Amino acid sequence: MRRLLIPALVLALAAAAGCSGRTKSADTTSPSTTGAADTATADFGTLKSVCGKGTAKTVTSQGVTSSDIKVGVFSDVGFTKNPEFENAAKVFTSWCNAAGGINGRKITPVTHDSALMQVNQKMIEACRTDFFEVGGGAALDGLGVKTRLKCLLPEFPAQVTSEIGADLQVMAQGASSGYSPYAGYFSWLLKEAYPSSASGVGIITGDVPVTKVLAAQDKEVLTAMGGKVTYSDLYPAQGVSDWTPYAQSIKTKKVKGLVFLGDFTQLAKLEQALTNIDYKLDWIDANSNAYGPAFLKLAGPALGTQTNFASINGAYPLEKADDNPATKEMVALFKKYVPDAQITLPAMQAFSTWLLFATSARDCAELTRSCVLANAKKQTDWTGGGLQASINLSSPDEPLKCFNVEKATTNGWVPADFKPTDGAYRCNAPVYKFKGNYGKPPTLADVGKSLSDLK
C-alpha cells in the first residue's frame, strides 16, 4: 500500500521544480450498465442495509448533528490533479444519502486538500470540524499524525504511507503492522514462477529518503525469500532523460528480476531502453502504482518483450468486474454518479473504506467516535461486500494471508498465473516479519493521550 501512493508523489516533491507528479490512471474496465440502483435499504454486495432511513436526533459528537455527519477526506489533489478520493466519496455518499443516509443522517464529505506539503495545516482544520476521516490518503501523511492523535480524530484511510498501524486508525485493506505485505508475491516470483531469477535480483528506486526505506524493506524480504540482490541503484527524483546507462548496468550485472520503485513513466522509459539493447529480464515488479492503462500506453511495444507484474493488495481485478457482483456494482455506481471519473485501485480501496465506516456507524445506538472505531475493530472477515480478499480488522498486527498478482500485456492487464486458492486470491502466503528498524508511527501515549480519552 505504501508503494502505491508514495513513489511518484515523493519523487515529485524532491524535484518540485521539474517533476509533474503522479500520472493519472484511467479506468481499467468498461462500467456495467446494470445493478447498483438506489433502494430503501442500500445493500451492497454481501453487505445488507448499509444505509437507510432513521429518526436519529441526538447530537453526540463534533461533526454530528440531528441530520448530518461531517466526514473529512484527505487528498493531495491540488498537487496530483487526481480526484480519485473525492470521486469515491461522492459516489458512496450520493448512493448512501439517496437511501436515507446512516440511520437518517446524511453524510457530508469534506475534502482536505493537503497538496502534498500542507498535511498538518489541513489536519488542524479537520480537528476543528470533522467527526471522522474516511477514504483518503496523503503521501506525507506522517506530518499530521501527532496533530490527529492530539485531537482524538479517528481515521479509516484508503491509503497510508508513513503511519501504518497508528492509533485511532483502522485500514480496510489491513495494516499488517511489522510484516511485509509482499512476502507471498516475492515468494511466488522467486520460488515458483522464475526460480532461476533468484540468483540475480535488482532494485532501482528514486533518490529520496522514503523510497529508500521501501527499497531496504524489499531487499530484506527478497533475501528472506531466497533471492540474492546483486544490483541496487538510485535515479534522480526528477527522472532520467536517457535510461540507456541504467539498462547497460542491469545487463552487465546479469539481473534477471527487477523491482522498480518510482514513477511508472520512468519505468516505461527504462523498459524501452532495455528492449533497445536487446536485454530481456525474467520479470519486472512494476508495483501497483502502474496498475492501469496509462502505464500500458507508455510502455507500448516493450510489453511484448519485458514481463511486468504488480501485486494489487488483495483487491478484485477491475478488468474482471463483470465476473464479481460487488465490483460490477461499484462500477455501475461510479457510472451513475460520476460518469466521467476514472476508476482506480485507490478509488476502489476508498469505496471499501466508506462501506466500513457506514456499517460501523449504522450499528451505534449513539453515534460517537469511540463506538464507530470499536465496531470497525470487531470485523474479523471484512471483504467490502466482496471487493477484496478477507481481512481480520480485529488484529491490525496480523499479517496479510491473501494476495493476487496482475500481469501487464499488450492487450491490457490480466490476472497472472499465480495459482489462486480462493477465487481470485491465493491465501496460503508465507509470512515475513521485518527485522530491520524502519520506524514506528506516533501513539496516543506520545501525545499525552489514551484510548480512554476518546468519546
**For the domain with range 183-312+401-415, which CATH number is right: 3.40.50.360, 3.40.50.2300, 3.40.50.1000, 3.40.50.300?**
3.40.50.2300
Please give the Cα distance from 407 to 18 (Å, whole number). Answer: 31
pLDDT beyond 80 at 123:
yes
| Residue 128: exposure state from Cβ atoms within 10 A (0-12, 13-18, ≥19) | exposed
Neighbours of 17 (CB within 10 A): 5
More confident residue, 4 or 247: 247
286 beta partners: none
Q: Which grid cell sits at 445?
A: 501515549
More confident residue, 267 or 28: 267
pLDDT beyond 60 at 13:
no
pLDDT beyond 50 at 344:
yes
pLDDT bracket for residue 23 (50, 70, 90): very low
Q: What is the pTM of this model?
A: 0.90
Instruction: Encode pLDDT of 273-287 as tens digits.
Output: 999 999 999 999 999
Please give the Cα distance from 321 to 309 (Å, whole number). Answer: 19
The residues, ordered by sequence, that sit 6+ positions from 247 with a Cβ below 8 Å of its Cβ are 270, 273, 274, 276, 277, 279
Task: Tell me what pLDDT residue 237 has.
Answer: 81
Instruction: Encode pLDDT of 398-452 as tens digits.
Output: 898 899 999 999 999 999 999 999 999 999 889 999 999 988 888 999 999 999 9
Task: Tell me what pLDDT residue 18 has.
Answer: 37
**Lowest mean pLDDT, pick from 9-23, 217-231, 268-282, 303-317:** 9-23
- As a whole number, the mean pLDDT across the chain is 90
The backbone region for 310, taken as left when phi is positive above 0, alpha when psi lies in -120 to 50, beta otherwise, is: beta
Task: Tell me what pLDDT residue 223 has.
Answer: 98
Helix H or strand E segment including 12 = helix 2-14
Stretch 372-398: mean pLDDT? 96
Instruction: Encode pLDDT of 91-108 as tens digits.
Output: 999 999 999 999 999 999
Q: Scanning the structure block, which residue is given the C-alpha cell 498478482?
A: 405
Q: In what order do the strands lie in the sheet with 155-156?
A: 106-113, 68-75, 132-134, 155-156
Asked: is 31-176+326-395 a CATH 3.40.50.720 domain? The reply is no
68 beta partners: 106
What are the start and end residues of each CATH 3.40.50.2300 domain in the chain? 31-176+326-395, 183-312+401-415
